[in-house]
């Protein structure tokens, strides 16, 4: 069964700063590695995802970096904004690839 | 996502009671999931269903059961609720055709049900 370790558990960043969240997985990579974003009182929603055949994917201020040999991937939020304050989950496919194993989540707070 | 609805949104029950949480979707997806969220533990998979006749246990299925009444409906039951089952419960859906078209299979989550077992 896929295991995913996510760090840090919580993060406080000043507005305009860079937020970095890390994840490590144990088993062999499959199709893709997604990041989900969850605002208080809402369900998680897909933020960005990366395929294991590329080392980086950028969408606006959000970038995923992927290191296949180290079995690690990270989320970078550039120019962090108060509206980015949320809980972020990384995930890795498990076996059938439709079943995801989620990390324990990182609660990000962006201060003014 | 308004296409995935969960009822009730909040529920308080007593130890030993049987309760049912319901999930409905209008996205036309074939796959549905039930997760439990606890602070510091992330999202843990309880059960999942890849079609109406396919039900599978997740990592924490003990004390729970599910029913896939139709492609659009997936219910989670707590047979005899205990305080340890106090948590936030999420239903999610996905479409297997997504991976063929986009290379990844996005899961779409409902708004959640907050359950308190006294």
* Rounded Cα gap, residues A34 and B105, in angstroms: 9
* Rounded Cα gap, residues B80 and B88, in angstroms: 17
The distance from CA B7 to its chain's CA centroid, rounded to whole angstroms, is 11
| Spatial CA neighbour of A9 closest among B34, B41, B90 | B41
Instruction: Please compute the mean of the pLDDT values over residues A76-95 and round it to a whole number.
Output: 93
pLDDT tens digits for range B58-96: 999 999 999 999 999 999 999 999 999 999 999 999 998
Instruction: Please compute the mean of the pLDDT values over residues B28-56 and round it to a whole number.
Output: 94
* Rounded Cα gap, residues A49 and A64, in angstroms: 7
Q: A99 contacts in B (CB within 8 Å)?
A: 45, 48, 58
Q: A34 contacts in B (CB within 8 Å)?
A: 104, 106
Which of A66, A98, A106 would best serve as a mutation to test chain B binding (most B beta carbons within 10 A)?
A98
Strand (E) or helix (H) holding A74: strand A72-77
Strands (E), chain B: 4-7, 10-13, 19-25, 31-38, 42-51, 54-57, 64-70, 73-78, 87-94, 108-109, 113-117
* Rounded Cα gap, residues B87 and B96, in angstroms: 29
CB A4 within 8 A of CB B76: no
Whole-number pLDDT of residue B104: 82
pLDDT tens digits for range A12-62: 999 999 999 999 988 765 668 899 999 999 999 999 998 878 899 999 999
* Rounded Cα gap, residues A70 and A58, in angstroms: 20
């Amino acid at each position: 069964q896929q295991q995913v370790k996510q760090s840090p558990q919580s993060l406080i960043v000043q507005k305009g700063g860079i937020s970095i969240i890390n994840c490590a997985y144990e088993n062999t990579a499959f199709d893709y590695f997604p990041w989900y974003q969850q605002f208080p009182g809402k369900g998680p929603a897909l933020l960005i995802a990366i395929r294991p055949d590329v080392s980086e994917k950028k969408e606006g201020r959000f970038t995923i970096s992927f290191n296949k040999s180290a079995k690690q991937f990270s989320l970078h939020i550039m120019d962090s904004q108060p509206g980015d304050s949320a809980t972020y989950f990384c995930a890795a496919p498990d076996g059938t690839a439709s079943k995801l194993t989620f990390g324990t989540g990182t609660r990000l707070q962006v201060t003014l | 996502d308004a296409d995935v609805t969960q009822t009730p949104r909040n529920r308080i029950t007593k130890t030993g009671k049987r309760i049912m949480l319901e999930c409905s979707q209008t996205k036309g997806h074939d796959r549905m999931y039930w997760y439990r969220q606890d602070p510091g533990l992330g999202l843990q998979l309880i059960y999942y269903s890849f079609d109406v006749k396919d039900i599978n246990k997740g990592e924490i299925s003990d004390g729970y059961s599910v029913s896939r009444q139709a492609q659009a409906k997936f219910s989670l039951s707590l047979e005899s609720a205990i305080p340890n089952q106090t948590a936030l419960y999420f239903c999610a859906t996905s479409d297997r055709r997504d991976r063929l078209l986009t290379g990844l299979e996005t899961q779409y989550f409902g708004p959640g049900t907050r359950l308190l077992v006294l």
